[in-house]
Amino acid sequence: MESYKEKATKNSSSIKAEECLGLPLTREDRVRYDRQILIHGFGEAGQKKLKRSSVLVVGAGGLGCAAAAYLIVAGIQNLTIIDCDKVELSNLNRQILHWQSDIGKYKANSAAEKLRQMNPTVNITSYHNKATCQTFRQVVKNYDVALDCLDNWPTRFALNKACVEAGVPMVHAGVRGFGGQVTTIKPRQGPCLRCIFPKTPKAERWPVLGAAPGMFGCLQAIETIKLITGIGEPLIGRLLVYDGEAANFYMIKVKRSRTCSNCGRRK
């Protein structure tokens, strides 16, 4: 099977002309996204793919704020944020879309307000209803990619299950202290989150350096853009771990589990 890198090399533009239908780029688009359009293999064709894409960000905390911000400025046309919590003072050291004046507001709405100011040419929707497994089943099928920017494992696994059932890619990230991990879930092509973490981690209030979720949210945005444009090699079957205290990156290969309750090969 060809790797993503081999496919990109075979097509000099990385994106076939027939795949570039949809909304045309405006003069403002060409100026706003000039620097990424210059990337070899990206071009206007890649920008058009972003312009017709829809992304779901679940969680408007540290990860979600960073990921959503960089997806919006990259030109993702339709972005939806789900978060049922309200902004608290303790959030402000890491959740960069929430400011002092936002304390008490729903995080989803607070984040959407800033994102619209950052890029008024895109569509942003926010929901602050309690996200349930059934809600995810109804919602994820309408998106090209879903992002797990959550801070609790039961909801993460509910999102993972819904994405596997709908065949929608999911980009997961988690942080702790100075570090964290990120991986890309592509149903039927690699392991899902339950394959990687068969046992639900213990619930706890873990420590987080403010910059750590910013870093991993940015990585989630990059993974999402790679999935949508077809450029590069997403972290499918690989878990990227960063130890910030030692300044070391580790790549761990992960495989699908035949007995996984979500994506076992018997299914």
d(CA 243, CA 178): 7
Asked if the model's pLDDT at residue 242 lies above 70, the reply is yes
d(CA 98, CA 116): 14
- Read off the pLDDT of residues 23-70 as tens digits, 9 standing for 90 and up: 799 999 999 999 999 999 999 999 999 999 999 999 999 999 999 999
Q: Where are the beta strands (DSSP E) in 70-160?
A: 78-82, 123-127, 145-148
Read off the pLDDT band of 132 (50, 70, 90): low
Question: pLDDT at position 20, please?
Answer: 43
Q: Which residue has the higher pLDDT, 4 or 239?
A: 239
Read off the pLDDT band of 141 (50, 70, 90): very high
Pairing of strands 54-58, 145-148: parallel
Residue 12 is encoded by which pair of tokens?
Answer: 């000099």
SS3 content of the chain, % helix, strand, coil (to 5): 40, 20, 40
Question: pLDDT at position 41, please?
Answer: 94
Domain layout of the chain by residue ranges: 42-253
Q: What is the mean pLDDT of the chain?
A: 90
* Contacts (Cβ under 8 Å, ≥6 apart) of 84: 106, 108, 128, 129, 130, 131
> Quick one: which H or E segment has residue 57?
strand 54-58
Q: Is 190 exposed, middle or buried (0-12, 13-18, 19+ CB in 10 A)?
A: buried
- Read off the pLDDT of residues 170-228 as tens digits, 9 standing for 90 and up: 999 999 999 999 999 999 999 999 999 998 888 778 899 999 999 999 999 999 999 99
Q: Which residue has the higher pLDDT, 138 or 240?
A: 240
What superfamily does domain 42-253 belong to in CATH? NAD(P)-binding Rossmann-like Domain (3.40.50.720)
